Structure 1
Amino acid sequence: MITPDLESGVKVWHLVKNHEHGDQKEGDRGSKMVSEIYLTRLLATKGTLQKFVDDLFETLFSTAHRGSTLPLAIKYMFDFLDEQADRHGIHDTDVRHTWKSNCLPLRFWVNVIKNPQFVFDIHKSSITDACLSVVAQTFMDSCSTSEHRLGKDSPSNKLLYAKDIPNYKSWVERYYADIHRLPAISDQDMNAYLAEQARLHSAEFNMLSALNEIFSYVSKYSQEITAALEQDEQARKQRLAYKVEQLLGAMVQDS
């Protein structure tokens, strides 16, 4: 009981767990037994789901188990990141690894794993959400280049897949290496691929809305964009900075 209000005579009570009062020793023993029961169930559930998690990670981090060829956009994007690292003298492999992880696995796949309702017409319960959070956290740890130091006080979701993460990390490294060894994608092939994708999905997106978003971004950072285009050799040959300025001027007049 909290100290009562002497003026009103109201007694205020604070709810506590059973083991926080009475026989402290008995409460600790009971709490430990409950934890051990749940731990056993947790490990059993992990064992049941292990193959599905392994299959998911192996599919996402493999160029040979996709059922189709690797999308050209992934190869083109990863080569672009390597090219930028070379241009700026960045030879730390961890930096290149982190760039690629932030572009694809951590930006796209984690979101899909954590929110399957974005892709499938299903209801995600709170229990399912908690379980998928563990898988998503394991996925993120697998993409990390830092060493995970775990102890007895580490959260259970970290300890659950602690022995599996080194293997998953090797899959991520192999995946990036396999993509690096694939033949380079030319600008012409990439443009043709994008044109084909635009044709296939032409009726699925609001083009005017997308253009408006791009225009808002370009107008906000117009000085930085034109300055960067002026410094790029290919952009200077195509006079892209001048074209951007013309476009912005025309849009301002129309508005």
Structure 2
Amino acid sequence: VSDRSVVALVPKQTSSYNIPASASISRTSISRYDSTFRYTGSPDSLRSRAPMITPDLESGVKVWHLVKNHEHGDQKEGDRGSKMVSEIYLTRLLATKGTLQKFVDDLFETLFSTVHRGSALPLAIKYMFDFLDEQADRHGIYDTDVRHTWKSNCLPLRFWVNVIKNPQFVFDIHKGSITDACLSVVAQTFMDSCSTSEHRLGKDSPSNKLLYAKDIPNYKNWVERYYADIAKLPAISDQDMNAYLAEQSRMHASEFNMLSALNEIYSYITKYSVELITALEEDEQGRRHRLAYKVEQLIVAMSFDS
């Protein structure tokens, strides 16, 4: 738009800018301070009351759409208008991202840190990650990307993404549609940060991926450092883990129904009884404690009760 141009808001035009026979328009004057449109038509016709403007490139009259016009006959002109609108929204998105950047960084830094602001890493996370590394060594899996993916699927992508996307699960709040859209962008960035694959972006990539394209490499470094720091921590013994679980059970004894939890576990036992019994028979500690026999006795006892 050049300097000293005059802008007027007009109703949506008909397809291909066809002017009804009952309506006409004449441009009388367009100046720096005045723009007057005269039109005639039936007063009972809604369309006749709205000025219909025919684009006249020679005289400098152009019609622009605030939203993408899917009914426009000229596809090239419509694409150009859509691109202009996308650029406007992208500017607003970047401004909003800059406002929220500190909070997103603080969130990611807190989640991907073994010691942050006085909060020590939970023993369960260290124990679980060591178990995954032990299973990888046991089965001869030395690809670091596979181990990275296992850990990401167990904690960040299994738990934290769900909390980020659905804060109402933790807090007594209402999540509106706008908030949901914003959190979806943060959650997608979080998932991309845990991925080991390279993200190739182009001009046709969605705006939610373009917003944090420059930040994701830094976030990926945080994730890799987080997993490496956990691996360097002292191993958690079975005794310490059992004591930790007993303490957690004592602290939350009144918040959970033990019988209900056992019933949920039993549903998995019955579903995978053959695989479970076979695995216990092959395991050294399982044979020592006769766990396979105890599981069989449990299934028999429960079948009589049912």
Structure 1 length-normalised TM = 0.90
Is 1:188 matched up with 2:242? no
Counterpart residue number, 2:278 = 227
Q: Please name the residue that 2:299 is paired with.
A: 248
1:148 paired residue number? 199
Is 1:51 the counterpart of 2:51 in the alignment?
no
Which of 223, 226, 233 aligns to 1:172? It is 223
Structure 2 unmatched ranges of 5 or more: 1-14, 16-66
In the alignment, which residue of structure 1 is the partner of 2:210?
A: 159
Give the deviation of 1:17 after TM superposition: 5.6
Q: Secondary structure at the match of 1:79?
A: helix
Match of 2:116, SS state, is coil
Q: Check if 1:113 corresponds to 2:164.
A: yes
Per the TM alignment, residue 64 of structure 1 is displaced from its structure 2 partner at its CA by 1.5
Residue 124 of structure 2 is aligned to residue 73 of structure 1: yes
Structure 1 CA distance, aligned partners of 2:302 and 2:288?
A: 24
Q: Judging by fraction of residues, say which structure has more helix.
A: 1
1:160 alignment partner AA: L
1:139 to 184, 187, 190: 190
Q: Distance in 1 between matches of 2:133 and 2:168?
A: 34
1:17–1:48: structure 2 CA closer, same or farther, 3 Å change rule?
closer
| Counterpart code for 2:285 | Q
Taking every aligned residue pair, what percent have the same amino acid on both sides? Answer: 89
- SS of 1:98's equivalent in the other structure is helix
Q: Which amino acid aligns with 1:156?
A: S
The equivalent residue for 1:8 is none
Question: What is aligned with 1:84?
Answer: 135
Structure 1: 5+ residue stretches without partners: 2-15
Q: Is the 8 A contact 1:142 1:168 kept in 2?
A: yes
**Cα–Cα, structure 1 residues 36 and 80, in superposed 2: closer, same or farther, change >3 Å?**
same
Q: Say which structure, 1 or 2, has more relative contact order (CA 8 Å, 6+ apart).
A: 1
User: Larger C-alpha radius of gyration, 1 or 2?
Assistant: 2
In structure 1, the partner of 2:267 is 216
Task: Give the match for residue 63 of structure 1.
Answer: 114
Give the structure-2-normalised TM-score: 0.76
Contact 2:68 2:78 in 1 (8 A): no
For residues 129-184 of structure 1, what are the alpha-carbon distances to aligned partners after superposition, in whole Å with 9 as ceiling and x for unaligned? 01100000000000000111111111111111011000000000000000000000
- Give the structure 1 partner of residue 173 of structure 2: 122
Amino acid at match of 1:176: Y
- Paired amino acid for 2:292: A
Cα offset, 1:221, TM superposition = 0.8
Measured in 1, the distance between the counterparts of 2:300 and 2:68 equals 67
| In the alignment, structure 1 residue 94 sits paired with structure 2 residue 145 | yes
1:30 deviates by: 3.2
Cα offset for 1:31?
A: 2.6
SS of 1:113's equivalent in the other structure is helix
Q: What's the C-alpha RMSD, in Å, of the aligned pairs?
A: 1.6
Q: 1:231 to 1:33 in 2, by over 3 A?
A: same
CA contact (8 A) 2:133 2:147 kept: yes
**8 Å contact 2:109–2:222 — kept in the other structure?**
yes
